[in-house]
Structure 1
Amino acid sequence: MTVIDAVRGDLAEVRAEVDATLDRFLAGKAGTAPDPCLPPLVEVLRGFVAGGKRLRPLFCHCGFLAAGGSPDDRAVVWTGAALEMFHTFALVHDDIMDRSAMRRGRPTVHRLLAEHFAGSREDDGVAAERFGMNLAILVGDMCFAWTDELLDRVEVDPPRWREVRALLHTMRTELIAGQYLDLGGDPRSTADPVRSAWRMTRLKTARYTVDLPLRIGAALAGGDAALMRACGAYGRPVGEAFQLRDDLLGVFGDPGVTGKPDLDDLRAGKPTVLMALARQQATPEQREVISALHGDPDLDEERAERLRDVVVATGAAERVERLITIRAERALSALRSSSMAPAAKASLSDLVAHATRRAR
């Protein structure tokens, strides 16, 4: 089940409207490209964009409703589309850094581009792969630039526009910090891996996926400081729970359901809260197994299963499940006590359940 398969119909309509807006925008870009080299890249991007969950536009929409915005206002649709375009930039570049082969059950953008252009070049496979990665970097850059172009379609008064832009700038900067931590680039992370994993979770997912999109929607409709605090009280725990579920799916998920290989995170040695807790709670013998296998680029399924067994035996998986439940309850409590509009509360309550219990 996807995040929004079972949520109320109005959110499904929001997703459909964002889908249509993005597709029309990209079709326009392909039709008005300044050079014939660009339309094939845009068409690859159109296919990739079509498979998104649209979480950020959904939370943005809910924040807009929470501040009294009209669900028919096109400003929130354009803003949601801009957030999704920025998210696409992040995914394309993230897959390059991780050398991921699959995303959403299909080849990643750099793999698609390598395959698409390999037949037209007299290069070996390595050169084709490098060419695909280079092209994908450019596609990601286009997405980053088009984020602003989509946001320029929003018609709102200057004070609200400035606040929306400021929140978007914060989102961009924090995401880069979270990605840096995800790559293991901070030497201080080895001193306290659990704390470092939480930092990455909050920057790369919690704020980026839920808290800031919610605040952006609220700012777009003129939400006050009290509403912004309520957005944070709800958004942070939901975002953390979402990433914790993602950590579990990255190790124990079914690739046929998640759309991503189940060995990538283990081979890359992803510094997740799950793995940090497993190492912290492990016996010396279990810690040896984790050290030997977590981050092994040649990890096969048999040894991965051994690593999964150790993670379960340490109690880390069970503890992460408890952390997800605690955060979901915390978000629902914050929602109940907030002064958000009832329509927003109903949708946000649905999103708590489906963001934290999802199978992909």
Structure 2
Amino acid sequence: MRSTQANGRHTADPPRQPPGARGGPTARPPGTAPAGADGAAEDEAREAARPPGPEPGDDRPADPRAVDDDVAGAVRQVLERVLADRLAHCRELDAVFAHDVAERVAHSTLHGGGRLRPRFLWWAFRACGGEDPARTRAALRAGAALELLQTCALVHDDVMDAAPTRRGGPAVHAGVARQYAGVVPGAAARHLGASAAVLAGDLALAWADDVVADLLLDEEAGAGAARRLRDVWRTMRTEMAAGQYLDVHGGATSVFAVARALRAARLKSALYTVARPLELGAALAGADPGTTRVLCRAGRCAGLAFQLRDDLDDVFADPRDTGKPSAGDVRQGKPTYLLAVARARATAAGDRTALDVLDHCVGRADLSESALARVRDVLVATGARDLVGARIAHLTEQALRHLGEAPCEPRAAAGLRRLLCEATGTAPDVPAPGGPPPGAALAAAGREAGR
């Protein structure tokens, strides 16, 4: 890559035509060639498969019954519209910023994942009787905000974990560092990549807040629902940050207490992934406080099971299914519930061999495959894997029981039950409405976990 000099600093030349400048936010990832004939064919295929819902630029509300068939697709349409507007503004500001940062935010948001959080929001909205056309549009916009918030979380998480990949491709910080590897020294390129990723996460959060602010100003949700939406959104953002800090703090201090691991899992995933989206959907539907409390109880159980499933998958699942390197939690020394249980059980049994393996292997970035195999053996031999699996099953049963206590619309409640099972890794062969096809459910849930 050539470089130019401006104000004494070398910078990479911005592309004459930034990827996506004409094709909108659905263009190829930054750093790749603009779409040609193959891209045009992809655009035509995407247009033919466009899901029901409001067209980009169309302010008419969607038919909720049509959205039921493809929730993820309807949310994507809203995201395409939002991101096209934001990218146009960024390109007016600066081509390099738009290409290096803003387009990566758009690409990360639009590609990969099963839209798990917006689907929880949607099916809670529908289960609580949500069918008003204006509130339907509000629910889709709130779902789009959740996806942008998830992009913020994942981009920042990859920086904190020094994770090189995300969903089968380079993480944002790694992609930027690679882009400038031939322009600036290696350390400077890595620093630039990390800095760009911090800003990309901040930008995604700002865009998420913009969507929610516009939603509140438009009063599509109604005054009462808007106040509840604002309060839940505010609480959720803080919980997410607290949970993530407990995660990195535990890794740095090697604190592997079981109770602390559960607290971090509840804050960083159980509430943010399931309980709060359910609460948002209930608020938008105008559900009564009693129904909302029952849904939140179900969400807390299912959300914790979701995070525990992610802990198991990190160590034992195929990276091609999770979209992340294998055993990242072990290499980073994260105080997951799985590792905390293994250490507690080894300590109680006086198993010095197992404790030595955990002491010498957990937290080693250069962990070999043979050492990782020894860690897996310890997780199995101490009974930690089986105990976590049993806890997931029990939490899922609790979630379904709580859901059964809520006075929900039957068809939507059935979809919500299947979605809860999908998220916890106990999904039936039939997917929840609006979700991925059979066989893709668990892989999508794994990619959605992200942490």
User: Does 1:44 pair with 2:104?
Assistant: yes
Ranges in structure 1 where 5+ consecutive residues have no aligned partner: 1-8
Q: Secondary structure at the match of 2:208?
A: helix
- Which residue of 2 is the match for residue 63 of structure 1? 124
* CA–CA separation in structure 2 for the residues paired with 1:85 and 1:113: 20
The 2-side partners of 1:12 and 1:302 are apart by: 46
2:68 & 2:379 partners in 1: Cα distance? 36
Match of residue 131 from structure 1: 192
Give the letter aligned to residue 319 of structure 2: P
What is the TM-score when the length of structure 2 is the normalising length?
0.74
What SS does structure 2 have at the residue aligned with 1:327?
helix
For the Cα contact (< 8 Å) 1:177–1:204, is it kept in 2?
yes
SS at match of 2:163: coil
Alpha carbons of structure 1 residues 326 and 107: separation in structure 2 relative to 1, 3 Å: same
- Identity percentage of aligned residues: 42
Per-residue deviation, residues 134-187 of structure 1 (Å, max 9, x unmatched): 011111111111112112342222221111011011101111110111012599
Distance 2:68 2:166 in 1: 23
Cα gap change, 1:321 to 1:12, in 2 (>3 Å) = farther
- Matched residues in 1 for 2:328 and 2:151: separation? 20
1:178 matched to 2:243: yes
Query: What is the CA deviation profile of residues 248-278 of structure 1, one whole-angstrom value per residue up to 9, with x for unaligned ones?
Result: 0111111122111003211101111100000
What corresponds to 1:198 in structure 2? Answer: 262
Highest RCO, 1 vs 2 (Cα 8 Å, sep ≥ 6): 1
Separation in 2, partners of 1:186, 1:244: 17
Q: Where in structure 2 are the equivalents of 1:86-105 lying within 5 Å?
A: 86-105=149-168
Q: What is the CA deviation profile of residues 221-272 of structure 1, one whole-angstrom value per residue up to 9, with x for unaligned ones?
A: 2111111111122101110110011000111111122111003211101111
What corresponds to 1:341 in structure 2? 409
Q: Name the CA distance, whole Å, in 2 between partners of 1:71 and 1:325.
A: 36
CA deviations 1:202-237 (Å, max 9, x no partner) are 100100100011001111121111111111221011
> Is the Cα contact below 8 Å between 2:274 and 2:300 reproduced in 1?
yes
- Equivalent residue for 2:209, pick from 101, 124, 148: 148
Q: Which residue of 1 aligns with 2:177?
A: 114
* Residue in 2 that maps onto 1:221: 285
Residue 212 of structure 1 corresponds to: 276
CA distance in 2, matches of 1:255, 1:12: 30
Aligned residue identity for 1:199 = R
Across the two proteins, how many residue pairs are aligned to each other? 350
Aligned to 2:325: 261
Alpha-carbon separation, structure 2, partners of 1:290 and 1:71: 54
Q: Judging changes above 3 Å, is the alpha-carbon distance between structure 1 residues 267 and 188 closer, same or farther for their aligned structure 2 residues?
A: closer
Letter in 1 for 2:185: D
CA contact (8 A) 1:18 1:81 kept: yes
After TM superposition, what 4+ stretches of structure 1 lie above 6 angstroms from structure 2? Answer: 186-189
Distance in structure 2 (CA, Å) of the matches to 1:45 and 1:105? 16
- Of residues 209-218 and 181-190 in structure 1, the stretch that sits farther from structure 2 once superposed is 181-190
Aligned residue for 1:339, secondary structure, equals: coil
| CA RMSD of superposed structures (Å) | 2.0
Please say if 1:31 is aligned against 2:31. no
**2:129 aligned counterpart, secondary structure:** coil
The normalised TM-score by structure 1 is: 0.92
User: Is residue 11–residue 347 contact of structure 1 (8 Å, CA) maintained in 2?
Assistant: no
The one-letter amino acid of 1:46's match is A
Kept after mapping to 1: 8 A contact 2:254/2:335: no
- Superposed CA deviations along residues 275-327 of structure 1, whole A, max 9, x for unmatched, are 00000111122111111111112211111111111111110001111001101
Give, in angstroms, the shift of residue 189 of structure 1: 8.3
Question: Per the alignment, in what secondary structure is the counterpart of residue 151 of structure 1?
Answer: helix
Aligned equivalents of 1:186 and 1:146: distance in 2? 30
Equivalent residue letter for 2:105 = L
Note the C-alpha offset of 1:66. Answer: 2.5
| Structure 1 residue 11, shift from structure 2 partner | 5.2
Match of 1:3 in 2: none
Paired with 2:69 and 2:353, the residues of 1 have a C-alpha distance of 49
Q: Is the 8 A contact 1:65 1:71 kept in 2?
A: no
